[in-house]
Amino acid sequence: MKAFLGGSKTITKLKDEAIAAIDELCAARAHILVGDCFGADKLIQEYLTYINYTNVTVYVSGYKIRNNVGVFPVKYIECERLDGYEFYKQKDIAMADDADVGLMLWDGKTRGTEQNIIYLKSIGKPVRIISYCQEDGL
């Protein structure tokens, strides 16, 4: 099983619920697909490194990696002639396409995470959403 893990850039700490969900995927020996952004992506990478989980691939739009905490294998996604949101969106599409399931840590407003949830559902892949809304205490 391949699992696309991602979330909002505003997230600064993994909740216990998120850690438990990641632990479940690791116990199932899932291949974790994660992006290279700051926020949720970097926190997920840090946690996977901390628990010495190595069945991970970091997806990168273009060829300049921003974060790879665990020095995991990297999959570079061609994004020629794109920039901004559309540039980074390409790695998310690739992860969703490659994954069997999704786990999104969402602050309730970040457009990229919302689009990942919508896209995963639209292609018939189950996605678990862990809320990081303001009232939950970012």
Range of the domain at 49: 6-94+106-123
Is pLDDT above 60 for 137? Answer: no
Question: Mean pLDDT of all residues in the chain?
Answer: 93
How many domains, in total, are found in the chain? Answer: 1
Is pLDDT above 60 for 138? Answer: no
pTM for the complete prediction? 0.92
CA–CA distance, 70 with 48 (Å, rounded to integer): 8
Q: Note whether residue 138 is domain-resident.
A: no
Average pLDDT over residues 7-25: 96
Is pLDDT above 60 for 118? Answer: yes
Average pLDDT over residues 119-129: 97
Average pLDDT over residues 30-47: 97
Of 46, 18, 25, which is closest to residue 136 (Cα–Cα)?
A: 18
CA–CA distance, 32 with 23 (Å, rounded to integer): 11
CA–CA distance, 84 with 79 (Å, rounded to integer): 11
Q: Note whether residue 135 is domain-resident.
A: no
Judge contact between 76 and 62, C-beta under 8 A. Answer: yes
